[in-house]
Every structure is written in C-alpha cells, then in structure tokens.
Amino acid sequence: MYKKIRTVCIISLVLATTSSIFAQGSKSTSSQIDNTLFDNGRKFDYYFYEAMNAKAANKYDDVYDYLKHCIALDSTNANVLYELGNYFNSVDSKNKALDHYRKAANYDGDNYYYNMAYASMCLEFKQYSDAIEQFEKLVSKNPDNTELYVYLSESYRLDGNLKGAISALDKLEQIVGLNEKISLQKYQLYTLMNQEKKAFAEIQKYIDKYPTEIKYQILLGDLYLQTGKTNEAFMVYSKAKSIDPDDPYLISSMAEYYEQTKNKAAAEQELQIALLSPKMDIDTKLSILAQYVGTLQRTQKDTQTANVLFDTLMIQHPQEPKLNLMYGNLLSIQNKKDEARFQYQLFAEANPTNPIGWEQMLSTTFPDSLDLSIKVCNEAISYIPEQPQFYFYLGVSEYLKENYNDALDTLLKGVEYVDENNVGLLANFYGQIGDLYHQLQKSDSAFITYEKALSYDPNNLGILNNYSYYLSLARKNLDKAEKMSSITVKAEPSNPTYLDTYGWVLFEQGAYTISKIYIENAIKYSEEKKQDISAEVFEHYGDVLFKTGDAEKALEYWIKAKEKGDSKSKTLDKKIETKTYIAK
C-alpha cells in the first residue's frame, strides 16, 4: 500500500512541475510556494497519522517507514524524533534511541516526556552528569512530581555525589513527609559516607515521633547488629522489650543477637519462643527456621538442634505443607532419606500438581532404589503428565533395570513435552534414547539420534563419550570418534571412563602405544578415586598390553576381567584359553 502511494505522489509532483514549466517558464509565484508548503503539511500529517496507526497495531516496520517520511519533511519535529527514539529503543538500537531522544528534548525543552526519555536513557548509558542535568530541569518544572526526586537522587548516587543524592531525598521528604523507604535510603547513603551518627539519626527520627511503635526500635537494633554494634543493639532491644516483650520479631532479632554473641543456648530459647508465638504467621516462622538452618550449615554446626524446632512447629501447624517441604529438606541434609521422603510425600499429596514435591521425593530414591524411583515418577506423571523430567528419570530407571523397550517408549513420549528452548534437557533425552537404540542393537538409529542430541548441545561430554565409544566398537568413522572423544579427555583429564574410551578409539586406529597410556591412566585414576573398575576396562588393558608386546601381563588382565563376573565379551574366554588377542 505504502509503495503505491509513494509512486503516485512522485508522478503527481512530476506532472505538476512539468505543467508549471510549460505554463510559466522557470519563475515561481508565491501562491505556488504556499501550495507546496500546504501539500507538505498534508503529507506530514498523513504519514504521522499512519505511523501512529501502525504503532497501535504493533507493525513496527511500518512505523519506521512512515516516520522516515515525516522526518524527511520536517527534520526538527520533536514529536517525530521522540517516536523514532521509541522505535529504536523497542528494537534495542539504544545508541540511535539516545540520539533521537536528545534531539527531541533539545527542540522541545518544555516537554516532560521527551526530557524524561532522554534522562532515563542517559542513566542507562551511564552518562550520569547529563542525566542529572535533565532531572534537575524536570524537577524545577515539575516540583510536585515525587518520582523525579528518586531518579535525581539515584543519578547523583551513581555519579558518586552522595551528598547530592541525600539532598534530593531531603527535598522529597519535605513533600511527602516521613517515609521509611526514604529514610532507609538515606541511612545507606550516610553509611557509605562513613557518617554513622547521621545514618542512625535517620531511624531515630521515627522512634522520636512514634515512641510506642516497636517496629522502629527493632529496625534500629537490627541495623546496629548488622554493623557489629552489639552493645548498642542490645540496649535498643531492651527498650523494645518494655513496649512488647512477646513481639515475635523482637524475639527473632534477639535470637540473632545471641547467635552473634556466641550464646547458642539463649539463641535457641529465643527461637523457640518466637516459633510458639501465635502472633507470628507461618511464613515468617519458616523464614526464621530457614535462616537458622542456614546459620548452622555455614558455621558447620550440628543441624540436629533444628529438628526439635521443626517438631514443635509440626505440632502447632499439623496441616501446613510448606513446613513438610522444609523439614524434608533439613532431613535430606542430614542424609535421613526415608524420613525426608515421608515429609516430601506429605507435601506432594497436599500439592499434587506442584512438581517440587515429586522432584524432592525422587532425590531420595534415585539411583539408590530404582523401583521406588519408578513408582514416584509414575505417580507424578498421573497428576502432571506434561512435566518431562519425570519421563526422563522413569526412562533412565527402566534402562538401568534393563527394561530397554519400556525405557525407549517412556523417553520417546516424554521428549515431546520438552520446551524447544531447553536444549540441555533435549540433548539428554536424545542421548539416552541413542544409548537405548544401541542396547537394542539398532546402531544406525543410535548414531542418528546421537547426532540429533549433539545438535542441541555439541559439548555434552556424556553423549560425546558414548557416541565415540560405540563408533569404535562398530569400527566406523574412527576419525570422528577420535575428535569427539578427545574433547571429553581435554575437559576432564582424570575421568576414567573418558580416558578408557579415548584409549580404545586409539586402539582401533592402531595407535597402540598411545592407547596404552590412556587406558593405563583410566585404571590409575579409578584406583585413586576408589572407583570400581569394570571387566571391560581390564580387558581393554589386556588387549593393548598384548599389542605392545607384553603377552604375559595381557593374560593377567584378561583373567582379572573374567574374575569381575560382569563381562559381556564374546572373545574373553578364547583369549584366556589361547593366550592370544582375538578381535571382537
């Protein structure tokens, strides 16, 4: 539509010009100039109107086209410059947005929106002095606009002028009166300026004005405590106790005070009082407990002391699932998996469509109990069938139980629920599916699926390892296998599995001496890490020893592989019998 209009306009102008030449030669009359200006004005209005229509319809490319025509007709129009700034800002072309906002503000210095847009963009570009200049101008013209003082203060703060930041907040306080957020910000600024007396005076103002409001006493005490002024904190808390000794937030602060002053028994007593208080809501109690458990972990203290507090809360709030979840987390930290799973189950039963409960239950079962893991996953899927993580762990559990067909069906179903943007999970799904195809002796399908997995995550070490190893077993694309396996050993040079795979790929390439080094290291690192060494690795080492001229030692490792009892090799017995390497 737009291109057709543009063509018509050009033809019209050409015809008008031609007609003028034939009629009057090269002279122009004042009436013709007036008509041209009138036509340009109509065109401008038309283009700007269409730009705003396109903007309303979210057709941003059309917006830009129309605005370009507007600016060609009037390059000093602040409204057009502002809209172009908005356009460039929306397409993340920030430099151009800044330039257009600046021009708009210069051409129409009284417009609040142009100046606000320019000032805000200056802040984004860390041009703090320009931002300050603009916000000062805006404040002078809009002295009742409270948000401008906040922006001005922040601009001064970011520019390093803390005194200016406080001054802006002082002016704001004159307009709105005492305000906790303003005072806390001023407290922070004074603290940064090492003016502690003025910092604490900001909070003291509230205590002076509201002497019976305990929350301000607690706030001041907490701030003293944060800065290590424990004596001052205790004095303030003591005054607060005279107002309401049973206030749960005061009790919580006192517990923190005792924790900092190494009086553990007093801290626990205060916590118990707070947790039993009917004045405190359950979320606050849980928050206090979470902080307490975190403190115990950070200081490497026995978390068992927290169990008594949880038991107390469980009696007080028997139907609170969030408490079950948090208690389960604590028990899990203590490695009490069965007890933790019971708490997680209570949470899951109360919130069956919330995946967190099922996921936490799964964390207590996988991979230790595959049957329980399968049960948890099936229950989760029955309530929230669109959650792919449960199909993944169900499929892996079935795979480990060697139910390969069931596992494949599960994973193929589950991968359909994975968000395309979750490339890591997609890679893991397809990597596991590739492993299953290999187990089901569908090598071509396995290799195709590994390629798909790596298209989502090219650096997934587990997939690179398995893909390269199975290629080496099939004696296919050994150069590709070597490149993939080399990535894994460079990433984790002491990983026994990756070292064995790389050594075996080199073996299949005929590089026996180098192969021996890697497989030898695989055994060495397994022994250092006290990891079990599979029959397969022992057999690989025997094979490479034979190829490097040590037939006697090769036989020793083939026998070790046989003694493991888990070998699936079709040639191992024959190697031991003939004392000779036989290719698989």
Q: In the chain, what are the domain boundaries?
A: 534-584
The answer to whether 457 touches 427, Cβ cutoff 8 Å, is yes
CA-wise closest residue to 323 among 315, 304, 364: 315
Burial class (CB in 10 A: 0-12, 13-18, 19+), 347: buried
Count of CB atoms within 10 A of residue 37's CB?
A: 10
The residue count of the chain comes to 584
State residue 567's pLDDT score. 85
**What tokens appear for 5 in the block?**
């209009």
CA-wise closest residue to 255 among 247, 243, 242, 266: 266
Using CA atoms, how far apart are residues 481 and 468, in angstroms rounded to an integer?
Answer: 4
Tokens 């520019």 belong to 159
Using CA atoms, how far apart are residues 369 and 401, in angstroms rounded to an integer?
Answer: 11
Phi-psi region of 247 (alpha: psi -120 to 50; beta: other; left: phi over 0): beta
Taking the chain (584 residues) in consecutive chunks of 10 residues, what is each chunk's mean pLDDT?
32 31 35 49 85 88 90 91 92 91 92 92 92 92 92 92 92 87 84 84 83 85 87 89 83 83 80 74 79 67 75 81 90 91 95 96 95 97 97 97 96 96 96 97 96 96 97 95 97 96 97 96 94 94 96 95 88 94 87
State residue 103's pLDDT score. 94
**What tokens appear for 397 in the block?**
């559990």
**What tokens appear for 312 in the block?**
């107390």
**What proportions of the chain, in percent to the nearest 5, are helix, strand and coil?**
80, 0, 20
Read off the DSSP letter of residue 567: -
Using CA atoms, how far apart are residues 496 and 494, in angstroms rounded to an integer?
Answer: 6
State residue 301's pLDDT score. 64
In 37-182 the beta strands, taken as DSSP E runs, fall at: none
State residue 300's pLDDT score. 60
Using CA atoms, how far apart are residues 502 and 515, in angstroms rounded to an integer?
Answer: 8
**What tokens appear for 251 in the block?**
């009790």
State residue 251's pLDDT score. 81
State residue 191's pLDDT score. 81
The answer to whether 313 touches 272, Cβ cutoff 8 Å, is no
The answer to whether 466 touches 450, Cβ cutoff 8 Å, is yes
CA-wise closest residue to 142 among 119, 159, 166: 119
Q: What is the pTM of this model?
A: 0.61
State residue 296's pLDDT score. 67
The CA-atom distances, in angstroms, between 293 and each of 49, 304, 357 are 62, 9, 20
